[in-house]
Amino acid sequence: MRSAIYEGTVRHRRVAEHEHAFTYKVAMQYVDLDEVDVLVGGRLTKPGLGVTRFRRSDFYGDPSVPLADAVRGLVRQRTGRSVEGPVRLLTHLRSLGHCFNPVSFYYCFAADGERLEALVAEVTNTPWGERHAYVLARPAAADDGDKTVLSGSFAKEFHVSPFMGMDQRYTWKVPVPGDSLFVHLESNEAAERVFDATLQLDRKPFDRKTLRRIALRYPAASRRMLLLIYVHALVLRLKGVKVKPHPGVAAP
């Protein structure tokens, strides 16, 4: 089984116009989408509330299309390349009827299940509730390179924080998850770093015992995330950070 629970910390650092940083503990589900129907005895996909549930409509694309197929189609549309292997989702699953993810990651593998071909980062903003998917793909010229790390950069296309402008560029570094999981993002404006975020997690088994433990340790996780977003927004306003208006461009 490739699915797992990952637990550790996420750190955000703002380094431009009034520095601000925070670190907090998180636990996220890493779900091989080929396994979702059999994990913990099939309980994740059962109807009803439940402590932890996978709901197709919480994630990318048309809910009538299997999620892995929708993600593969997106990668093919954006890059012209086909992803033949498993798609593994790093996210916060629905908890007690509620689901919110600032970002969910889809790790798209080659047919061998080991080589990371692409990463899809599905971002959701608040309070607008818009979604946007970024695709970071392995360049064809790098096909013979390190198959365990994906890195690259692309322009910011989607309004997330009212304290960050749109004229920025993201740089990512994403190794293949193993005993540990690491994701690092830097946001640059005029070639200067203005923000970075780092996710550092350790692998735990995807079983009932672990799910119960994290449900008790991180109750109502997605609601907690929303609360933290608004708390830190208030802190930034009190520090005098200027608000950047929503550009009004609908998410694709």
pLDDT, position 146: 72
Task: Specify the pLDDT at position 235.
Answer: 96
Range in 44-48, 106-110, 215-219 with the lowest mean pLDDT: 44-48
- Alpha-carbon distance of 118 to 124, in angstroms, equals 20
The answer to whether residue 113 scores a pLDDT higher than 90 is: yes
Residue 142 — pLDDT band, cuts 50, 70, 90?
Answer: low
Among 125, 111, 83, 104, which residue's Cα sits nearest to residue 226?
A: 125
* Residue 50, pLDDT score: 80
Beta bridge partners of 124: 131
d(CA 40, CA 208): 6
User: Please, are residues 81 and 120 in contact by the beta-carbon 8 Å criterion?
Assistant: no
pLDDT at 252 (0 to 100): 44
**In this predicted model, which residue has the larger pLDDT, 49 or 186?**
186
Residue 134 has pLDDT above 70, yes or no: yes
SS3 180: strand
pLDDT at residue number 141:
58
Least Cα distance to 87 among 103, 104, 100, 62 occurs for 104
pLDDT for residue 251 is more than 50: no
Q: Bigger pLDDT: 140 or 127?
A: 127
Q: Pick the closest to residue 5 from 36, 35, 27, 34 (CA basis).
A: 27
Phi first, then psi: give them for residue 77, nearest 5 degrees: -65, -45
pLDDT score of 147 more than 90: no
Q: Number of helices and strands (H, E) in the chain? A: 3, 10
Q: Convert the pLDDT of each residue in 15-71 to its tens digit.
A: 988 899 999 999 999 999 999 999 999 999 998 778 899 999 999 999 999 999 999
Q: Is the peptide bond before 127 cis (omega within 30 degrees of 0)?
A: yes
Average pLDDT, the chain: 93
Q: Which two tokens stand for residue 54?
A: 């996978």
The CA angle 121-59-88, to the nearest 5 degrees, is: 60
Domain locations along the chain? 4-238
Does residue 4 register a pLDDT over 50?
yes
